[in-house]
Structure 1
Amino acid sequence: MTTANRIKLSVMMFLEFFIWGAWFVTLGTFLGKNLHASGTQISLAYLTQSIGAIIAPFIIGLIADRFFSAQKILGVLHLAGAVLLWTASRASGFDAFFPWILVYMVLFMPTLALVNSVSFRQMTDPGKQFPSVRVLGTIGWIIAGLTIGWLNWEQNNQLELTFGMASVASAILGLFSFTLPSAPPVKRGEKTSVADVLGLDAIGLLANRSYLLFFVASVAICIPLAFYYNFTNLFLNEAGMKSAAGVQSLGQVSETLFMLLIPVFFVRLGVKKMLAIGMLAWVLRYVFFAFGNADANYWMLILGIVLHGVCYDFFFVTGQIYTDNLAGERFKSAAQGMITLATYGVGMLIGSLVAGPVVDLYAQGGSHDWRSVWLIPAAIAAFVLLLFILLFKDRNHVNKQAAVLPGESREIDPLI
């Protein structure tokens, strides 16, 4: 990978996650305070992410792998997204806001797979090269949170400005995408089947028992993750934390550190241990939130936030690399879309449907019984972790074969 391409891919990652972090972290607080939404309505807004993630594999499989270059699709989606975010910022109530954010997330979620696909297509050794590029995305998320905190948009009840900021960044990335290194479709002109059109090329990966268990675990662990994404900012503001969005960026600082260490951990620990450590961190994070407060146990809130780096990197980034290694050259885009479907799609959708009613159940006037709320995702994460440790089989040798084609059922070493 050339230096010029590395810089372009890093800028792409920075803008991609700056856009997301600019409005997504404080969405719950914006809806609750500005638009007076209920917990269920807040979860419904976050559920749009899941709808977009479920549609993503079909968009990727139909377009990016077959008809148009991935970087051009990325540009078009972000230019359209800029208009939608700007319009959403002008909404006066939840009913007016929801349709715009729904359409936006249907367009945005495929871009998460597209930036990975564009990156992987330029790399000769993704296990070593991807983390140093992807870490710029984490830095972008940090800068977004620090900007919100520095400008006091939470305290001044001006969170609608976060959507305007994200809109401008989306327009910039939309234009910049057309300068990215080419990631042309790898199956242009090939005979098309129904499975091809629906983006199901990578479904053959599930014939690998180890990967199937990872896929199921990805869905299950994202159920408690929905609690974190949907309600952490609202929880911290109710707990009395000042500049909560800025403080939450400590999670991305932690994510940056562990991202850079992933190549070392990946070789020394292997896939199973890394995924298990990530899930254990989820359990601990929710326990710290349950018993933390802005007074004597403030350190628990901070530690719960900092654990985000372990949660995200050890599970999501490891899973993306694992998926890319197994997919092979022909199915990289479809495979990344499929794992997006499992995590941000099905898992987060179920989680959002669960989290909203739980938060409403423990509503107490203008606040909530957050201890009872956080112990529920802690229990779910602990259960998933236990099943994963018992069922996922890790072998000690490395099989050099790196791809499973549709219809094949051979076992592939999860250490690859």
Structure 2
Amino acid sequence: MNSSTRFKLSFMMFLEFFIWGAWFVTLGTFLANNLKATGSESATVFSTQSWGAIIAPFIIGLIADRYFNAEKILGILHLAGAFLMYQMYQATDVSVFYPYVLVYMILYMPTLALVNSVSFNQMKDPEKEFSNIRVFGTIGWIIAGLSISFLFHWDSAENIQAGMLKNTFLLAGIASAVLGLFSFALPATPPKAVKGEKVKVGELLGLDALKLLKDKNFAIFFISAILICIPLAFYYQNAGLFLATIGVDNPTGKMAIGQISEAAFLLLIPVFFKRYGFKKTILVGMLAWAVRYVLFAYGNAGDLAFMLLLGIALHGICYDFFFVSGQIYTNSKAGDRYKSSAQGLITLATYGVGMLIGFEVAGMITDTYKTGDSVQWQMVWLIPAGIAAVVFLLFAVLFNDKKEKEIPATI
């Protein structure tokens, strides 16, 4: 890969995740303070991510894979996203905001697959080259968070009260417009599928990989993956709002510690796989969810602030050791015939069904423990900690890893 192509792909990844990190981390705080949303209303807004994940395979499978170059679709989707971001920036009510964020997420979620397609198309050895490109996405997310906290200070207590968080949508919109225009300068990525070839809905959603559920261990993992997304949704929906509400300084910037952790622990997965096997690796990930929420429940912005920072730093173990390990496990179980379908099925189950249930539960729990403008955060965090602990125990007892220890530890 020449230096020009490497730069283009790296800049593409940087902007792709800068856009997401620029508004999604502070969304819960924005909804509660700017739009006065209830927990249930916030859950409805956050669930747009799940609907986007469910609909994304149709956009990729029916359009990108068959009719148009991936980089051109990427450009069009991000230009449309820039317009929608501006509409979200101007919204003053949840009922006005919701349609725009719903359409935006339906358009944005497919771009996550498109940037991968554009990248892979330029690589001779993706296993060695992709991580060096993808890391710029993590850097983009981190830079977005640091900018909001330490450059613009939009998440300071006084600026939150002044309604400045809406500027995050303007920032994301500008970045989306830049990426939209830049996408047309990316290397050409023509459609792979043969025109006129019949499309099977089951293949698009990964439903043909349901045959894998006949394997008891895979079925247990599949159900556990859906269930663990319930506590995951609590983090996405409430963490930013929680930190801002209890008075943590520069909460968005400090949440970027989670992405730094994610990048670091990604490198440790092969070591854990080789030494401890799949079951123990994924159990560590599950346990980390329970521990992190206990830390959130009993930490504070004062002398126990280190507990909150430690909870944020656990994000790398929480995400990588469960979700990335799960993707590797799924790939090993699927075989050549069902590799793509199996990954599509897991994505649909987790970011689609699992997160959809999770956001609904998180919104209901938040409303249950909210009195006026005050939230009993300890209970809001102890409940998902309990859910994660139950999933941990069920997986530990029911999953038999005697035949799973030969999973290749490659990413």
Paired letter, 1:361: T
Aligned partner (choices 251, 268, 290) of residue 297 of structure 2: 290
Question: In terms of mean alpha carbon deviation, does 328-337 or 100-109 score higher?
Answer: 328-337
Question: What is the CA-CA distance between 1:117 and the residue it aligns to?
Answer: 3.6
Give the 5 Å matches for 1:365-404: 365-394=372-401, 395=403, 398=406
Alignment partner, residue 67 of structure 2: 67
Alignment partner, residue 194 of structure 1: 200
Aligned partner (choices 194, 203, 212) of residue 207 of structure 1: 212
| CA deviation profile, 1:119-173 (whole Å, cap 9, x unmatched) | 4444555554443332221111111111111211122130010000001111122
Paired letter, 1:111: T
Q: Distance in 1 between matches of 2:346 and 2:242?
A: 29
Question: In terms of mean alpha carbon deviation, does 114-123 or 326-335 score higher?
Answer: 326-335
Q: Distance in 1 between matches of 2:201 and 2:265?
A: 37
Alignment partner, residue 404 of structure 1: none
Q: Does 1:172 align with 2:173?
A: no
Q: Distance in 2 between matches of 1:27 and 1:318?
A: 28
Alignment partner, residue 405 of structure 1: none
- Does structure 2 retain, via aligned residues, the 8 Å contact 1:85–1:167? yes
Q: 1:124 to 1:379 in 2, by over 3 A?
A: farther
Q: Distance in 2 between matches of 1:99 and 1:10?
A: 32
Question: What is the CA-CA distance between 1:384 and the residue it aligns to?
Answer: 1.7
Alignment partner, residue 370 of structure 2: 363
Q: 1:383 to 1:126 in 2, by over 3 A?
A: farther
Give the 5 Å matches for 1:233-382: 233-323=240-330, 336-382=343-389
Alignment partner, residue 153 of structure 2: 152
- Does structure 2 retain, via aligned residues, the 8 Å contact 1:117–1:336? no
| CA deviation profile, 1:251-276 (whole Å, cap 9, x unmatched) | 11212222344454455555443332
Q: Distance in 1 between matches of 2:122 and 2:278?
A: 23
Identity %: 58
- Does structure 2 retain, via aligned residues, the 8 Å contact 1:56–1:109? yes
- What runs of 5+ residues in structure 1 fail to find an aligned partner? 399-412
Over the aligned positions, Cα root-mean-square deviation in angstroms equals 2.7
Question: What is the CA-CA distance between 1:55 and the residue it aligns to?
Answer: 0.9
Question: What is the CA-CA distance between 1:281 and the residue it aligns to?
Answer: 1.3
Aligned partner (choices 221, 227, 230) of residue 223 of structure 1: 230
Q: How many pairs does the alignment contain? A: 401
Q: 1:55 to 1:237 in 2, by over 3 A?
A: same
Q: Distance in 1 between matches of 2:292 and 2:98?
A: 30
Question: What is the CA-CA distance between 1:35 and the residue it aligns to?
Answer: 1.1
Question: In terms of mean alpha carbon deviation, does 284-293 or 170-179 score higher?
Answer: 170-179
Q: 1:131 to 1:328 in 2, by over 3 A?
A: farther
Paired letter, 1:229: Y
Question: What is the CA-CA distance between 1:357 and the residue it aligns to?
Answer: 1.2
Question: What is the CA-CA distance between 1:229 and the residue it aligns to?
Answer: 0.3
Q: Distance in 2 between matches of 1:179 and 1:213?
A: 45
Question: In terms of mean alpha carbon deviation, does 99-108 or 321-330 score higher?
Answer: 321-330
Paired letter, 1:83: F
SS at match of 1:186: coil
Give the 5 Å matches for 1:23-62: 23-62=23-62
Q: 1:116 to 1:270 in 2, by over 3 A?
A: farther
| CA deviation profile, 1:62-115 (whole Å, cap 9, x unmatched) | 223333333332222111111101111001111111111111011111222333
Q: 1:90 to 1:325 in 2, by over 3 A?
A: farther
Q: Distance in 2 between matches of 1:327 and 1:184?
A: 27
Alignment partner, residue 410 of structure 1: none
- Does structure 2 retain, via aligned residues, the 8 Å contact 1:117–1:333? no
SS at match of 2:113: helix
Q: Distance in 1 between matches of 2:338 and 2:180?
A: 25
Question: What is the CA-CA distance between 1:242 and the residue it aligns to?
Answer: 1.2
| CA deviation profile, 1:332-351 (whole Å, cap 9, x unmatched) | 76655443322221111000
Q: Does 1:97 align with 2:97?
A: yes
Alignment partner, residue 112 of structure 2: 112
- What runs of 5+ residues in structure 2 fail to find an aligned partner? none
Paired letter, 1:153: W
Q: 1:131 to 1:270 in 2, by over 3 A?
A: farther
Paired letter, 2:226: V
